[in-house]
Structure 1
Amino acid sequence: MKNIITKVKSPMFISIGIIFISSVVLQIVQIQNKNLYLGIDWIFHYNRFYDAAQQIREGNLQYFVSMYGFSQSGRIVNALYGPLFAYFNGLLILLFGSWLRYQLVSNFLITFLSSLSMFALLVKSKVRPSISILLSLLYSTLYTVQAWSFNQHFTAWGAVIIPIGIFAATKFLEDGNDNERKNMLMLSFVVTLSIQIHVLTTLFLVIILSVFFIIGIIISRNRVKLFGWVVKAALLTTFMTANVWYPLLETNIENNLLSPWLNLDMDGTALKLTLFNFPGYITLVVLALFFLQFILIMFVKNNLLIRLSTILSFILFILSTKLFSWNEILNRFPSIAIIQLPSRFLLPAIVLILFSLGLTIETMLTEEKSNKIQQVTLYVSLIFLTFFGFLLHHKTADKQANIWTSDDVYSRNSNTISTTENSNQLRESFRKENSMDTPLEMILKPTSDYVPLKNEHLAKSKDLHPYYEYREAIFNNPLNPKITKSVQNRKLNLEWTLEETEEVLLPVFVYQRTELVLNGEKLEQNDFEVNNIGVLKVHAKEGENILTMSYKNSILFYYMNQFHNYYPLKTLDGAIVVNGTKKEPPHMLQFVCLLGQ
């Protein structure tokens, strides 16, 4: 009992408790109003997670195609967009049973975990807990973290990952570090986690890791050893992420997938300065962090780690703003359009500036002869910025809550479709008494990412309007009122009745490995057609028709999944075979194996 009391009184335990309470406080507006925040991307991600939840609920596990979400259209999304994290969110949906509860929990998780991640980075880097906790709380209030809560921007989950990644990156600079295996596992873990959650976040993480690695190679006295454990980490990561990169590779080779939205006006989506309003802009709090670090580094003794982190943070900050001429670079290198939004550079910039600021303050308080006035000024400044961050957060929370109670209900754009304009009905559709797919059927958005184009030339055609074709073929399909859909034995069934024999456009997508059975007869490639975006056309008979759709996983995918599940474990001290006895893999790995079958 005495040991327990001692642990409870420890600074670490108290700090984690403060982070927990703070994370709850940041959700207080939503808790009180019982409103949902429905931003630009909620339709896309909630369809993904609902599909995963229903697969688990009904036992119809299908790794590739969506048979429940996305209007039961059989399109591939989750397999290419963080599959395991989608199933994690699906589990949360099943556990909490309503969209409001799920959103409260997921918003709390990203707030708590991002703050905890930043706190761990700072404390592990020997920044005192009092400074670490203030910077961590401030971090959790910023829009770069809360973009998931308010607008369901998936890149915000990088706020949990990038601090861990930076801590792994600092190991490149530790010459003579004997913890080779530990460093390898940490580096592999953070990159694997990033790939499993959001592939684009990995791009920014790799940029940071590469800069630290290059500097580490230059200053290291044992370059071969450093290079060796980094290569081992890369190989381990490759095995651990085979369930992500192999489906992405296979489906792109076998199909003419339509790329996600490419931003051809990146200058227009770069950030600009504003004092109080966000989301989407650099606030006074963010600017103050960069200004404070700029001032401190001029007068405080600093080391290579502080200088490198500060310089890199300022470079990434500039890349996120209109100060950088993105469109000129885009004209020369069109492939950078995959970044989509320059504002995404702000998240790693903020993590780095908070990290370097924490290190600089610790240096000042420890090594420099700072007087009491300077120390008090620093603490008051951090407390003020944190408090101001909370105020800005609650201001935005109130603003988003007002959208929920307005006639709009959710953040709309030109591509969003509502089956009713009655705002009360839209709000009622999210109540726990209704099926969780009710709002997904009432509010629609034709996102055409990864749909299979009829031929490769359409990808560059100016005559292709994928959003329009998606809307007409899937949402406004005249056959929709006549079709009944069901899922059995990992197969999607469509049933409908016709008064005469005719060619019909069915609201399902067909990929190279999609298998179709119409009225008991398997359809070969020459037995059907598809429209420009891969939606199925068949000749249906008079009377009752039944189409069964399934997806045949490749044998190579199955073995790659086995490799992903077992090989990394066998390389880590015999996790599969222990003392000559074969052990079963963890339940999550069994789950992934089942998905791959």
Structure 2
Amino acid sequence: MSKKKIDFNMYWYLLAVVVISIFITLPQLYHHVTIIGTDSLFHYNRFYDVAMQIKHHNFSYFMQLYGFLNSGRIVTAVYSPGITYLLGGLLLVCGSFFRFAIVTRLLFFILAALSMNSALKIMRVKNSVLVQLVSVLYAFTPAINSWGMAQNFSGIGAICLPLIFGCGVRMLKRPEHPISWLQLGGIMAIVLQTHLATAIQSIVILIFYAVLALIINPKSRWELVKNGIAAAILCIGLSLNIIAGMLELYADNIIVPVVAFDLKSGKGIYHLLYLSDGGWVNLFFILIVLVIMLSGFKRLSIETKATGLLSVVLFLFATTMIVDWPTVMASNPILNNTLQFPGRLKGPAITAALITIASVDSSYFSGRVRHYSKPALVGVLALFAFTNMVGNFRYSRNASQQVLSSRAVLPDLKRTKKLKQSLTEVMRSPLSDRTVNLITKSTPDYMPATRLPNQPVYGEYQRQIIRPSKNSSHVNRFGYEKVVRKHQIVVKWQGNGSYRTIPIAFYHNSRFQLNGQKITPKRAKGILRLPLVREGSGKNVLRVTYHPRVISRLLLNLSMLNWVLMIVGMAIYEYRQRKDD
């Protein structure tokens, strides 16, 4: 068996990504801070819960035991379960949120570049210089950088988007074999385990390319449909755990919906003239695509035309230039709950724009222009890469100095120098419940409700869950002590024989045992569905467990089995391929 030599010219871009990543992250490393962005506290609770499950070998897939102030919420089962368990394991290895923030930031930059590079190879883009340069550029776009700055999960979802476009372009470019069902099914399953909103966008993108392929390649229609169905079946088989989570959450519960953006005020809508915080980066790529499309549309391949047009349309959709989003969202609850805010569309728009730029081949240029065009384009992109790198460094420096995002926690929290020092110290310390409980965000997503609220319930969650949970029995005689036991949360307090609302989520399949007796609690007053129990005089002990449906447990086990079988099968196939070589 001959040993293949590694061509380092094909991997220089990864070294460039590592160097730029370290440069951008230097302010955070220098200040030793963990940037607490818009979604940090919500996701860090999920990662901490998984880390503690792994550490204590106390697994609870449906009900969170350790996170969210031990309130028994269901979140991870429906929100990116696969990637959450991987990141929870990584958090446990890192040992602190500070190290976790640095490691994930660097890791996601590298994964984004690898994703774009792999996607362009799926598309069989031949210009290796442009392929690698575009891969570097993509790693530091605002969509990817949003994880480090605000811990938005759409930033993780954006890592997968190039692969989705790669599978879509393949449908047009390779009519003899438009879909690899194993490739497409596996990629879509990974996207579903990563970010549901990105998965919905991915389905729309794939449908766009599939419809075009059916029109322009009539001879390969059966091949496309057959392999497309096989990919969908594989994806569903690998995503049964998400179906189980949805079943548990929505079958018999009224769930607090995600708070809608105030689109009338412009929040959640991309504005062309708002170019700070990296917004100019997006506009730069779209302008290049427009120049390419307008100057030589006829010479472009069908897949490049389709991807370029899609990038421009998606970018315009992210604004209000062609869609009256406040009116559309107000009249379409399904779109409002799935898309949530149109500004999210700029992520796939920029992905498509960069793919369009990388796909421009020599045939696009003619005459003397061809000799200078490639170096000119590479020079412009390289200059942009440097400018963007410096901009990201400044953005990171500002975030590192502030530490707390203005929207990260309740508005009444005083952002003092002492709080910043305490937060920095806690996030650098070994993992404990103090790291996720020092400051909390009253995000009530996926909480059970007695009725659908007509306004946000942040205040009620703060009063009913956060404050009582932090009111420890060690400080207040009638406060609570919460501890985690095997598959259960135990709440202890001193009572006086009256009725009491317990700061625990009350789902349909939540089970309660008060002072050794199984009970079915009443529902507390308010929108949030919380248990109201008749306490005894003196010490009270409430044990909270969760009993999922048999079908849900079956779906979860089948999903895990399917993943194991696929990974083992791919490993055997790879081993045989290498052995044959």
Structure-2 change in CA distance of 1:470 and 1:495 (3 Å): same
* Residue of structure 1 equivalent to 2:95: 97
* Residue of structure 2 equivalent to 1:506: 502
RMSD, matched Cα? 2.6
* Residue of structure 2 equivalent to 1:473: 464
Amino acid at match of 1:399: N
Is the 1:53–1:93 contact (alpha carbons within 8 Å) kept by the matching residues of 2?
Answer: yes
Matched, 1:376 2:375: yes
Q: What's the CA shift string for 1:313-338, capped at 9, x where partnerless?
A: 00100011232321232243233212
Q: Which of 268, 283, 288 is the equivalent residue of 1:292?
A: 288
Is the 1:309–1:355 contact (alpha carbons within 8 Å) kept by the matching residues of 2?
Answer: yes
Deviation at 1:247, TM superposition (A): 1.5
Worse overlay, 500-509 or 328-337:
328-337
Unaligned runs of 5+ in 2: 474-478, 573-581
Unaligned runs of 5+ in 1: 579-597
Matched, 1:529 2:529: no
User: Distance between the aligned counterparts of 1:56 and 1:398, measured in 2?
Assistant: 34
| Residues 324-363 of structure 1: pairs in structure 2 closer than 5 A | 324-338=323-337, 339-361=339-361, 363=363
Structure-2 change in CA distance of 1:429 and 1:72 (3 Å): farther
User: Distance between the aligned counterparts of 2:424 and 2:267, measured in 1?
Assistant: 37
Deviation at 1:275, TM superposition (A): 7.2
Amino acid at match of 2:225: F
Is the 1:426–1:439 contact (alpha carbons within 8 Å) kept by the matching residues of 2?
Answer: no
* Residue of structure 2 equivalent to 1:306: 304
Is the 2:125–2:358 contact (alpha carbons within 8 Å) kept by the matching residues of 1?
Answer: no
Amino acid at match of 1:216: A
Is the 1:246–1:560 contact (alpha carbons within 8 Å) kept by the matching residues of 2?
Answer: yes
Amino acid at match of 1:219: I
| Residues 443-482 of structure 1: pairs in structure 2 closer than 5 A | 443-454=439-450, 458-459=451-452, 461-462=453-454, 466-477=457-468, 480-481=472-473, 482=479
| Residues 586-597 of structure 1: pairs in structure 2 closer than 5 A | none
Is the 2:108–2:144 contact (alpha carbons within 8 Å) kept by the matching residues of 1?
Answer: yes
User: Distance between the aligned counterparts of 2:357 and 2:568, measured in 1?
Assistant: 42
Matched, 1:69 2:70: no
Q: Which of 204, 215, 218 is the equivalent residue of 1:218?
A: 215
Is the 2:286–2:353 contact (alpha carbons within 8 Å) kept by the matching residues of 1?
Answer: yes
* Residue of structure 2 equivalent to 1:595: none
Structure-2 change in CA distance of 1:305 and 1:316 (3 Å): same
Structure-2 change in CA distance of 1:11 and 1:501 (3 Å): same
Structure-2 change in CA distance of 1:536 and 1:436 (3 Å): same
Is the 2:492–2:539 contact (alpha carbons within 8 Å) kept by the matching residues of 1?
Answer: yes
Is the 2:97–2:431 contact (alpha carbons within 8 Å) kept by the matching residues of 1?
Answer: no
What is the aligned residue count? 556
Is the 2:255–2:447 contact (alpha carbons within 8 Å) kept by the matching residues of 1?
Answer: yes
* Residue of structure 2 equivalent to 1:26: 24
Matched, 1:432 2:434: no
* Residue of structure 2 equivalent to 1:151: 150
Matched, 1:486 2:483: yes
Q: What's the CA shift string for 1:73-105, capped at 9, x where partnerless?
A: 001111110112111111111101111100001
Larger RCO (alpha carbons 8 Å, 6+ apart): 2
Amino acid at match of 1:347: G
State the secondary structure of the residue aligned to 2:336: helix
Amino acid at match of 1:432: R
TM-score by length of 1: 0.87
Structure-2 change in CA distance of 1:536 and 1:321 (3 Å): same
Is the 2:36–2:408 contact (alpha carbons within 8 Å) kept by the matching residues of 1?
Answer: no
State the secondary structure of the residue aligned to 2:11: helix
User: Distance between the aligned counterparts of 1:103 and 1:209, measured in 2?
Assistant: 32
Deviation at 1:418, TM superposition (A): 4.8
Matched, 1:191 2:191: no
* Residue of structure 1 equivalent to 2:239: 241
Amino acid at match of 2:341: L
Deviation at 1:374, TM superposition (A): 2.7
Structure-2 change in CA distance of 1:318 and 1:424 (3 Å): closer
Amino acid at match of 2:207: S
Worse overlay, 255-264 or 505-514:
255-264
* Residue of structure 2 equivalent to 1:209: 206
Is the 2:188–2:199 contact (alpha carbons within 8 Å) kept by the matching residues of 1?
Answer: yes
TM-score by length of 2: 0.89
State the secondary structure of the residue aligned to 1:444: coil
State the secondary structure of the residue aligned to 1:543: strand
* Residue of structure 1 equivalent to 2:165: 166
Is the 1:516–1:523 contact (alpha carbons within 8 Å) kept by the matching residues of 2?
Answer: yes
User: Distance between the aligned counterparts of 1:502 and 1:169, measured in 2?
Assistant: 62
Identity of aligned residues (%): 22
User: Distance between the aligned counterparts of 1:431 and 1:157, measured in 2?
Assistant: 22
Q: Which of 504, 515, 527 is the equivalent residue of 1:519?
A: 515
Deviation at 1:174, TM superposition (A): 3.9
Deviation at 1:128, TM superposition (A): 2.0
User: Distance between the aligned counterparts of 1:269 and 1:569, measured in 2?
Assistant: 39
Deviation at 1:410, TM superposition (A): 4.2
* Residue of structure 1 equivalent to 2:579: none
Amino acid at match of 1:194: V
Deviation at 1:298, TM superposition (A): 3.2
Amino acid at match of 2:311: S
User: Distance between the aligned counterparts of 1:364 and 1:222, measured in 2?
Assistant: 27
Amino acid at match of 1:471: Q
User: Distance between the aligned counterparts of 1:420 and 1:503, measured in 2?
Assistant: 37
Amino acid at match of 2:504: V
State the secondary structure of the residue aligned to 1:507: coil
User: Distance between the aligned counterparts of 2:260 and 2:127, measured in 1?
Assistant: 43
Amino acid at match of 1:340: Q
Worse overlay, 335-344 or 501-510:
335-344
User: Distance between the aligned counterparts of 2:382 and 2:539, measured in 1?
Assistant: 69
Q: What's the CA shift string for 1:520-544, capped at 9, x where partnerless?
A: 00113xx433343112210111111
Is the 1:142–1:393 contact (alpha carbons within 8 Å) kept by the matching residues of 2?
Answer: no
Is the 1:127–1:358 contact (alpha carbons within 8 Å) kept by the matching residues of 2?
Answer: no
Worse overlay, 486-495 or 244-253:
244-253
Deviation at 1:262, TM superposition (A): 2.0
Is the 1:165–1:209 contact (alpha carbons within 8 Å) kept by the matching residues of 2?
Answer: yes
Structure-2 change in CA distance of 1:112 and 1:145 (3 Å): same
User: Distance between the aligned counterparts of 2:47 and 2:409, measured in 1?
Assistant: 24
User: Distance between the aligned counterparts of 1:574 and 1:395, measured in 2?
Assistant: 45
Amino acid at match of 1:411: S
Structure-2 change in CA distance of 1:254 and 1:334 (3 Å): closer
* Residue of structure 1 equivalent to 2:534: 539
Deviation at 1:346, TM superposition (A): 0.4
User: Distance between the aligned counterparts of 2:420 and 2:294, measured in 1?
Assistant: 57
Is the 1:496–1:546 contact (alpha carbons within 8 Å) kept by the matching residues of 2?
Answer: yes
Amino acid at match of 2:104: S
Structure-2 change in CA distance of 1:215 and 1:272 (3 Å): same
Q: Which of 109, 114, 120 is the equivalent residue of 1:116?
A: 114
* Residue of structure 1 equivalent to 2:551: 556
User: Distance between the aligned counterparts of 1:209 and 1:508, measured in 2?
Assistant: 41
Structure-2 change in CA distance of 1:174 and 1:413 (3 Å): closer
